[in-house]
Each structure stands twice: as structure tokens, then as C-alpha cells.
Amino acid sequence: MGLFSKLMFWRRHKPIVPVVRLTGVIAQSGSLGRRGLSLEAIEPQLKKAFSVKRAKAVALIINSPGGSPVQSSLIGQRIRDLASRADVPVLAFCEDVAASGGYWLAASADEIFANPASVIGSIGVISAGFGFDKAIAKLGIDRRVYTAGEAKMTLDPFQAERDEEVGRLKAL
């Protein structure tokens, strides 16, 4: 094959990499009175990207602080399902931030690329509350609770904190 033929072959067969932008707070569509980054909102773009013939990969451009863990899980799983069916790798390119659910989306890729200044990671859960057990004891209040299970009152603010309950929560 001559040089001209090789150039023409390359020109006709350039690598194709569809790009999907995953930007903003991850939330169910319509929640908070606005359109969120949800599976419902992004699925048409994902399907289109993964249906491109001769695609060498699909690129995800991610700029999200996270949000709904359910939507993050649904989007991430859909990306993996489509990638498996199309048999193409997924590349995640993190822009300013890919934190919490945004990092979850990046983790659905086969490879993650990020700028050294990007905010990456920060998957975590917080649980906060108040302890009223001393206040109700001081006031002489007798609290009566009836449950049908052992752990139904875990971290009840009207009881003293118990190490095993805190340990169970931290293990989540």
C-alpha cells in the first residue's frame, strides 16, 4: 500500500470516541424544582454514544459535586451495562470536581484521568443527632417505647450512646 493509500485509509478510519458530559448535581429529574443529572435525563445521550459504530471508546467528561446516591448508582450501572454490550472501554475525564456521586460516575469507567488540581473522591456519609438522655433524666421524664425488634431504636437521642450502635453505623 502506497503512502497516499495509507493516508486515505487513515482519513476514512479515524478513531471515533463519542463524548458524554456529566455535569452538575446528581438528582432525580424534577427534584428541587430543576432538572437534575439523573438516569432519566442522561440515558438518551448514553445510548447514542454507545451505539456509534466503530467507536474505539466512550469518553465521559465529569464535573459534578455528587448528589443522590440512588441516581449515581443507576447512572453508573447503566454505563457499565452499555459498555459491556457495545464492548468498548469507557474513559472518564474529571474536570474541576468529581466528588461523592461524581466520583462514583468516574469509577464506572475503565480508566480515570484528572488534572492534579481537580477535586476527586470524597465519598462519605454523615449521620448527626442530639443526645437528650441526660436532660430527660434531670427533668424526671419517663419515656416508654415498645418495638418489635432489637435494633429499632439505634442511636435514639433519648438514650445514652452505646458503643456497639456507633460501631454498627461506622461499619456501614
Residues labelled as active-site residues: 100
Q: Do the beta carbons of residue 94 and residue 114 sit within 8 Å? A: yes
Instruction: Look at residues 24, 20, 63 and name the one whose alpha carbon lies nearest to residue 43.
Output: 20
Taking residue 33's Cβ as centre, other Cβ atoms within 10 Å add up to 5
Cell 460501631 identifies what position?
Answer: 167
CA-CA distance, 100 to 29, in Å (whole number)? 19
Dmax over CA atoms of the chain, in Å, equals 96
